[in-house]
C-alpha cells in the first residue's frame, strides 16, 4: 500500500499496538484511528510519514509521551490525542509546526508547562488541554487559545490576549489564575 494517502479506521474495535509498518506508508497524509482500543506508544517510525497533515488518534488507550519527532512533520495541521493515557509534557518541538491549526490533548495525564514555543503557532485556532495536570504560567505569545480549563495553570492572563482577534471561545475555568 505504498501509494496510500488516507487511512481511515475511525470508530472500529481495533486493539493492540499501532504496527511499526505504518512508517512504511511514506505518502500517507491523513491518519484516523479515533475511537478504537489501540494501546501502546505512538510508533517512532511514524516520523517517516513526512506528508502527514492530519493525525487523529483520540479515544484510544495510548500510553507513553507525545513524541518530539511530531514537531518535525512540517505539514501537520491537526494533532488530536484527546482521551488517551499519554503522560509527560507537551514537546517544545510542536512549536515548529507553523501550519498547525488544531492541537487536542484533553483527558490525558500530561503535566509540565505549556511550552513558550507554542506561541509561534499563528495558525493555531484550537488548543484543547483540559483535564490534565499542566501547570505554570501561560506563554505570553499564545493568542488563539481555546480550552485549557481543568489544569494547574497559575499567574495572570497575559494582556496580549486582547490582540487575539480570531478568538471565539476562551475557557480558563478550574485553574489557579490570579490578578486582574
What's the rounded Cα separation, in Å, for the pair 3 and 179?
A: 54
Q: What does DSSP assign to residue 35?
A: S
According to the model, what pLDDT value does residue 173 have?
A: 74
According to the model, what pLDDT value does residue 149 have?
A: 54
pLDDT of the chain, 180 residues: tens digit per residue? 889 999 999 999 999 999 999 999 999 999 999 999 999 999 999 999 999 999 999 999 999 999 999 999 999 999 999 999 999 999 999 999 999 989 999 999 999 988 989 888 878 878 888 888 888 776 666 644 554 555 677 777 777 677 666 666 677 777 777 777
Q: Is 168 left (phi over 0), alpha (psi -120 to 50) or beta?
A: alpha
According to the model, what pLDDT value does residue 169 have?
A: 67
Domain ranges of the chain: 1-179
According to the model, what pLDDT value does residue 156 have?
A: 76
Q: Which CATH architecture has domain 1-179?
A: Alpha-Beta Horseshoe (3.80)
Contact between 107 and 82 (Cβ < 8 Å) = yes
Sign of the alpha-carbon torsion through 11, 171, 157, 131:
negative
Q: Give, in order, the Cα–Cα distances in Å from 87 to each of 53, 64, 92.
A: 23, 6, 15
According to the model, what pLDDT value does residue 116 have?
A: 87
DSSP SS3 for 65? strand
Q: What is the pTM of this model?
A: 0.84
Amino acid at each position: 500500500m505504498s501509494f496510500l494517502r488516507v487511512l481511515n479506521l475511525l470508530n472500529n474495535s481495533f486493539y493492540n499496538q499501532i504496527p511499526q509498518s505504518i512508517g512504511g506508508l511514506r505518502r500517507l497524509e491523513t491518519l484516523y484511528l479515533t475511537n478504537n482500543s489501540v494501546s501502546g506508544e505512538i510508533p517512532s517510525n511514524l516520523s517517516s510519514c513526512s506528508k502527514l497533515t492530519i493525525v487523529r488518534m483520540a479515544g484510544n488507550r495510548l500510553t507513553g509521551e507525545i513524541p518530539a519527532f511530531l514537531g518535525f512533520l512540517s505539514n501537520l495541521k491537526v494533532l488530536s490525542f484527546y482521551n488517551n493515557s499519554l503522560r509527560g509534557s507537551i514537546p517544545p518541538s510542536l512549536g515548529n509546526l507553523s501550519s498547525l491549526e488544531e492541537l487536542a490533548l484533553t483527558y490525558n495525564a500530561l503535566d509540565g508547562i505549556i511550552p513558550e514555543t507554542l506561541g509561534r503557532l499563528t495558525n493555531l485556532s484550537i488548543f484543547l488541554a483540559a483535564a490534565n495536570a499542566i501547570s505554570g504560567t501561560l506563554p505570553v505569545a499564545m493568542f488563539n487559545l481555546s480550552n485549557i480549563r481543568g489544569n494547574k495553570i497559575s499567574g495572570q492572563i497575559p494582556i496580549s490576549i486582547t490582540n487575539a482577534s480570531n478568538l471565539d471561545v476562551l475557557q480558563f475555568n478550574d485553574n489557579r489564575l490570579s490578578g486582574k
